[in-house]
Amino acid sequence: MDLRQLRQFVAVAEELHFGHAAARLNMTQPPLSQSIQALEGELKVQLFKRTKRNVELTSVGRQWLAHVRQVLDGANGLADTARRLSRGEIGHLRLSFVSTADYSVLPDMVSRYRAAYPHVELTMREATSDIQIEALLDEEIDVGLIIAPSQASLHPALSYQALLREPLVAAVPTAWINEGRKGFAGKILEPADFFKAPFIVFPRRAAPAFHDIVSGYFAEHGLAFTAYQEAIQMQTIVGLVASGLGVALVPQSMTNLQRRGATYLPLAGSVPEVETGLAWRSSDQNPALDTFLAAAVPADNR
């Protein structure tokens, strides 16, 4: 039994005339009659009552017709499904992102993509840049929103697209400012004002590029900081600052996270910038990835 026989069965069932059904199918009557007989023989079920004057569906044939139509409708939709999959209009995309992106590029990016491709299943999870790189190489995700690696350290199997460059700002306990603690009374911080303060930072293993930007900022001023506390989420870092445990340097977009007890202050001098961008496997052939990159990345960033 194949789809051809099922279509022939439906034609005869609707025409109730082998000659008319054969004409509709652009074939002659004898092979159509033989095909229906073969179908009945395979099923071991009589589908039609035949007389010299007319053809009627049996009770089983009448009930089976509805099921056959469902199968054919599904089969007819398979070709359209394949075309839509190839165009990235449907399918599945796995996106991972660093915590800072939730306060910068992620919301608008996802909104643009969902508006353009509402039928693609989008799976999202938060992860540090190092975890995302591993997940990309292990084919566990399709695209990652990461802190930019140096070009020298970007894995050769990956492609990268920059999205945002933003300056760092200092996250400072509000209580330190209110009590006039030395170095924290002004509205702009000098590195020498706070490098001796307890410092909260991303561990280097989780985001080497970000960690090196922070340490490089102090090194440019002849200073070196010692990490008092490490945390792998920016929300946690800001929370620790708010509790009075120390000071941190964070991307400017984190000022969108208003946490009671934490105040954001600009840095003096040449302020370092951190870059956020998309990484994906260069060999990835998932059409949904192509549509994501086209829809989610602003034209002036491509």
One fold for both 91-163+276-301 and 165-274? yes
Beta strand segments in 65-111, E: 91-97
Find out if CATH 2.30.130.10 is the number for domain 165-274: no
- Spatial distance between the Cα atoms of 94 and 144, rounded to a whole number of angstroms: 9
Note the CATH number of domain 91-163+276-301. Answer: 3.40.190.10
pLDDT in tens, 47-61: 999 888 889 999 999
Query: In terms of CATH architecture, what is 3-86?
Result: Orthogonal Bundle (1.10)
- pLDDT, tens digit, 9 for 90 and up, residues 82-130: 999 999 999 999 999 999 999 999 999 999 999 999 999 999 999 999 9
pLDDT at 292: 96
Domain boundaries, the chain: 3-86, 91-163+276-301, 165-274
* Inter-CA distances, 103 with 110, 225, 240, 255, 268, Å: 13, 26, 18, 8, 23
Parallel/antiparallel/unpaired status of strands 273-281 and 143-147: antiparallel
Closest CA to 12 of 71, 76, 31: 31
